[in-house]
Structure 1
Amino acid sequence: MSQTVAFVGVGKMGANMARRLKDCGYSVTAVLDVNTQAAAELAAELGCKACTSLAEVTAAADVIFTVVTNDAAMRAIFLGSGDNLLTNAKGRIFINCATLSPAIHREVYAAAEKAGAHSLEACMASSISHAREGKLYLMLAGDEAIYQQVQPMIEQMSVNRRFIGGPGRAAEVKALVNMVMNINTAGLAEGLGLAAALGHDLNMIREVFSQTGANSRVLETDSADMVAREHDCWFSAEHAAKDSGIAADVAKTVGLSLPLNDATKAQYEKMVSLGLGGLDKSGIAELTFKGRHA
């Protein structure tokens, strides 16, 4: 409990993770976000500092969580010229939670090691509410001995967790998780869209799906929203496109073709091009139901 904690990236997920650790008695000392107003408001709520530089965050805590949007943002906060998190970072532990490529995680791991710091992956397969309630499912990678140093903290944040292996390995598994989830979501949208076009009662179809080989986790989480056209964002179509792209890139490194993933990626990229990228991933149904978006 003596470890102090800071956060870089305090959108919905990062902010709720910070709140959870504060509730569990950890000293959250600093936050930083490109949205300076959001960072200032969270800092006031938690009674900590809203930092204006990355080096200031590193100086303020023993353990720094990062929750950023993409590889470019990750590279900027760790490897950017001038101000970055690895300034005077000796002994610090960075826990990186965003869905990013395995390559950038390995790059940051090596840079942290050179700076005398430590980098862990803690890839999340959960929602915003899970972060607030300490019910995340986390996939972790890096040095297992470093993981053990922060394990009590991680346990307060998660209902379950799995240590995968060395740097980049958790990111690989998270890419697989999101690839399959996105494919299932696209398949469900096509099934419901075809059922609607055939004039079937969609509540009946959803019940039949739930009792047969068409059942899936996304049937439970997304099917009602697809029917009702309620796409409030929990996991955006833009993020789905990005994550399917990560899986595609990983497949290329091992010479593997993933035609279903490629088709799903194209669908989510189409959503983005139509200005629908901010919808939840369930919004892919807008592409498959007759009379909705073409």
Structure 2
Amino acid sequence: MAETLGFIGLGNMGAPMAGRLIDAGYELVVHDARAEAVAAFEARGARRAGSPAEVGAAASVVLISLPTPAIVEAVVLGEGGLVEGTAVRTVVDLSTTGPRMAAKIGAALGERGMVWVDSPVSGGAGGAKAGTLAVMVAGPPETCDQVIPVLKVIGKIFRVGERAGMGQTMKLVNNLLSAASMAISAEAVVMGVKAGLDPDTVIDVVNAGSGRSSSTLDKFPRSILPRTFDYGFATGLMYKDVKLCLDEAEAMGLSLWTANAVRQVWFQALNELGADSDFTKLIQVAERAAAVEVRGKAAK
């Protein structure tokens, strides 16, 4: 009989990860705030749960993929939360919550005999669909050993520590670099276009030279040059991740000057574009200031 897993959060990242688990033969009990998201998984054979507590009553291992630290805390520890489930013993958090929230929830679950596996992921919705995510796993070794076969279905495993929060720190370091490369790449390409360079040529040259990054290799060709802006990650979430990183750095007594500038760029994007906008629209902030448009040959 296939192992039954719980899965909470069927959004841009959660849905493809949960889908891969179904494809791998796992039986899922799922919950999401959006009925239509759950219905799509019921059609694939998953069981619906009316609350996080119901998920926790049906599966000993539950994975969660949720957008903000506050939502993670409410889903796990709040009224009707996972903590009220009678079967759950291990909770694997695939979200980005920050190290202090991970430590807080991990301690609260530990008092109830449950284990929190801090396991954020990176690689975007495309990586979630392809099963190529970077999965940053932190938790007790014996528990991690048990859940790693499940996590291998969604990506490549990196064991980064044994303490809740270490996975989150690794994720924030990664996302700060991603946010910084997006910000500076947008400004640099806009400058080139303002000077008369062809945007496709700019990206081709950069990707053949020393300035390349995941932004120029992937995000520009996929979503910016064709003007589709459909990468699948929200501006509000990127700002949240950068802010979380800076909050942690400040708590450690660090002054990250460049990171502070990156946070300001994303705060401006948040105000101009809105939290729900695709984060590749960041370039529009620089475009408006320069009165140019970075439009590749693939744009309609």
Taking structure 1 as the reference length, the TM-score comes to: 0.92
Q: Does structure 2 conserve the Cα–Cα contact (< 8 Å) formed by 1:91 and 1:116? A: no
1:274 is displaced (CA, Å) by: 1.9
* Aligned mates of 2:122, 2:242 — CA distance in 1: 15
CA distance in 1, matches of 2:277, 2:292: 14
Match of 1:182 among 176, 179, 182: 179
Give 2:158's aligned residue: 162
CA distance in 2, matches of 1:179, 1:127: 14
Equivalent position amino acid for 2:242 in 1: S
- Confirm whether residue 35 of structure 1 aligns to residue 34 of structure 2: yes
Q: For residues 133 and 217 of structure 1, do their structure 2 counterparts lie closer, same or farther at Cα, with a shift above 3 Å needed?
A: closer
Matched, 1:118 2:115: yes
- Matching residue of 1:271: 269
2:148–2:157 contact (8 Å) kept in structure 1: no
- Partner in structure 1 of residue 149 of structure 2: 152
**Deviation string for 1:8-29 (max 9, x for gaps)?**
111132122222111111121x
Deviation at 1:40, TM superposition (A): 2.6
2:56–2:87 contact (8 Å) kept in structure 1: no
Moved over 6 A (4+): none
For the structure 1 residues 199 and 138, does the alpha-carbon distance in structure 2 shift closer, same or farther, using more than 3 Å as the test? same
Is the 2:69–2:97 contact (alpha carbons within 8 Å) kept by the matching residues of 1?
Answer: yes
SS of 1:251's equivalent in the other structure is helix
Which 5+ residue runs of structure 1 have no aligned equivalent? none
**CA displacement, residues 64-122 of structure 1 (integer Å, 9 cap, x when unaligned):** 11111111101101221x31111145661111001111111111111111111111022
Residue pair 1:241, 1:265 contacting (<8 A) in 2 also: yes
SS in 2 for 1:46: coil
Q: Answer with 57-66 or 88-97: which moved more.
A: 88-97
Alpha-carbon distance in structure 2 between the residues aligned to 1:23 and 1:88 = 26
Of the structure 1 ranges 116-125 and 178-187, higher mean CA displacement relative to structure 2 is found in: 116-125
Matched residues in 2 for 1:36 and 1:234: separation? 20
1:54-93 equivalences under 5 Å are: 54-80=52-78, 82-89=79-86, 92-93=89-90
Q: CA deviation at 1:239?
A: 1.1
The 3 A distance-change label for structure 1 pair 91 and 58 is: closer
Paired with 1:54 and 1:184, the residues of 2 have a C-alpha distance of 37
SS in structure 1 at match of 2:158: strand
Matched, 1:10 2:10: yes
Task: Look up the equivalent residue of 2:220 and give its one-letter code.
Answer: S
Which stretch shows the higher mean deviation, 215-224 or 87-96?
87-96
Indicate how the Cα distance of structure 1 residues 216 and 79 shifts in structure 2: closer, same or farther if over 3 A, else same: same
Aligned AA (1:116): G
Please provide the CA RMSD for this pair. Answer: 1.8
